[in-house]
Amino acid sequence: MADTISKEWGGWNLEQEQYRSTRVMRQGLLEPNMPNFNFTDSEAYYINDNGSYDWAFVGLFFRLNYNWKGRYLIETSGRYDGSSKFPNQSEVELLPSASVGWRVSEEPWMESLRSSFLDNFKLRASIGEAGNGLVAPYEYLSTMSIIRGYKRYQRKTC
């Protein structure tokens, strides 16, 4: 077995979504077996934009592994992600992580335990940052609900 083994890999991903939803309703269906807007006798209709959004995501990622004598392990990885779901100052972020490991079971002084029951004992410590792109688009924006319609008030005169 070689004293040193290293592995490297990386990649990228692109995602994009466009969503459009409109609800239309019209009353007075003349023929129940033929649901068509042209077969209604009512002038009243309802059109509502049920929401629409666009978002895009691009990411680069990598992982580097280093193994010395099957005992001492180092791994580093990271992502560089950009998403239109976040405000301009936060739409691109580097998310690094690293870990170190020690396969105690591979030490020469563990030979007796390794042959009986402890064949792969490893200690590992890691630190890193993980991002979450699974959020609804535009959640960072302050919004205000709009209620369509009005109430008619009559002014009382004395």
As given in the structure block, the two tokens for residue 114 are 């390794």
| Tokens describing residue 153 | 């008030």
Task: Identify the DSSP state of 5.
Answer: E
Q: Measuring CA to CA, which residue among 97, 80, 90, 85 is closest to residue 133?
A: 85
CA-wise closest residue to 52 among 137, 141, 134: 137
Per the CB < 8 A criterion, the answer to whether 98 and 127 are in contact is yes
pTM of the predicted structure, to 2 decimals: 0.63
pLDDT (tens digit per residue) in 13-56? 999 999 998 887 777 888 888 878 778 887 777 777 777 888 99
Pairing of strands 122-128, 92-103: antiparallel
pLDDT exceeds 60 at position 146: yes
What is the strand order of the sheet 122-128 is part of? Answer: 4-26, 45-68, 72-83, 92-103, 122-128
Q: Model confidence at 150, in pLDDT bands (50, 70, 90)?
A: low
Determine the pLDDT at residue 13: 94
pLDDT tens-place string over residues 73-109: 999 999 999 988 888 877 889 999 999 999 999 898 9
Q: How many CB atoms lie within 10 A of CB 104?
A: 16
